[in-house]
Amino acid sequence: MDSPVLDRATWSDRERAHHERADTLTAAHRERAARGEKHPIWDFLFTYYSYSPSQLRRWHPGAGVQLEDAANRVQWRWYSPGSAPGSVAPDAAAFAREKAALADLIERMLRRTAARPGQFGCFGLHEWAMVYRDSEHRHTAPLRLGQDATDAVVEAHDLRCTHFDAFRFFTPDAVPRNRHPLSREDQPSLEQPGCLHAGMDLYKWAMKLGPLVPGDLLLDTFELARDIRLLDMEAAPYDLSAWGVVPVPIERADGKAEYVRRQREFAERGNGLRRLLLTAWLGAGQGTRPGSDARHS
């Protein structure tokens, strides 16, 4: 199948539209940064995920899509000359050669997570486990229930976290309360689509794939991460009323129901984006890379 070719006018229009959309998504953060102002919810999208607004602003057409009259882009990482004169295209094979271990990890994470059923009984308690029986908290905002009542919520529930990058911030007293011990090595085997952080991490995987991901898909993953981040903090133990946050009180039945409803919606959105990332990267109908573990998905 011939690779698609975009003429200069078409890809320039798409690039311009991407810049405008990205600038809109990051405007408030950039304005706060210029004032030296911190935000306990939204800074996470640029600190934990350490990608700048300028990186989000970069437009790429996606793997194998040729750009006419764009030979200057051959200096960009993982771009190669295309078959059309003066054209270049993001090169998935070059990425796989240079970043073999990363490519294998990303494919395993995307395929395996999408293939598993979602788990919806965690109620966002990972954030509560990060402050359990500990006076030193990662966030400066106060606990809305106080320390003792927050600890009691943790003790009244079964911790079911499946995401290592949340689990690693559990307090020492919270670690043994989790249903399963987690490790970095086990992450591809345990990640599941109901996890809020697994959904947010789609933005990370899209960024790591760089030019192999179409610009609109990259921004879709960022928007998902943004939307999930809000629920993550609404369900957290902190009092964020000063920033206009209305809590989702997961210590009550109504809060649990709201959390699970929105969690299911995010899982569906996330799995749709996982499949789009795999299709855009590896090519629809072209199978998998040699050595991939799709047979285990």
Half-sphere exposure of 185 (CA within 13 A, CB side): 1
Residue 129 is assigned to a structural domain of this protein: yes
Kindly state whether residue 296 falls inside one of the protein's structural domains.
no
Q: Is residue 67 part of a domain?
A: yes
Query: What predicted TM-score, i.e. pTM, was given to this entire model?
Result: 0.93
Report if residue 224 sits inside a domain: yes
Residue 297 placed within a domain: no
Kindly state whether residue 122 falls inside one of the protein's structural domains: yes
In order along its 297 residues, the chain shows pLDDT tens digits of 568 999 999 999 999 999 999 999 999 999 999 999 999 999 999 999 999 999 999 999 999 999 999 987 777 889 999 888 889 999 999 999 999 999 999 999 999 999 999 999 999 999 999 999 998 888 889 999 999 999 999 999 999 999 999 999 999 999 999 999 999 999 999 999 999 999 999 999 999 999 999 999 999 999 999 999 999 999 999 999 999 999 999 999 999 999 999 999 999 999 999 999 999 999 833 434 434 454 333
Work out how many domains the chain is built from and give that number. Answer: 1
Task: Tell me whether residue 264 is in a domain.
Answer: yes
Residue 268 lies in a domain: yes
What is the three-state SS of the chain?
CCCCEECHHHHHHHHHHHHHHHHHHHHHHHHHHHHCCCCCCCCHHHHCCCCCHHHHHCCCCCCCCEECCCHHHHHCCCEEECCCCCCEEECHHHHHHHCHHHHHHHHHHHHHHHHCCCCCCCCCHHHHHCCCCCCCCCCCCCECCHHHHHHHHHHCCCECCCCHHHHCCCCCCCHHHECCCCCCCCHHHHCCCCCHHHHHHHHHHHHHHHHHCCHHHHHHHHHHHHHHHHHHHHCCCECCHHHCCCCCCCCCHHHHHHHHHHHHHHHHHHHHHHHHHHHHHHCCCCCCCCCCCHHHC
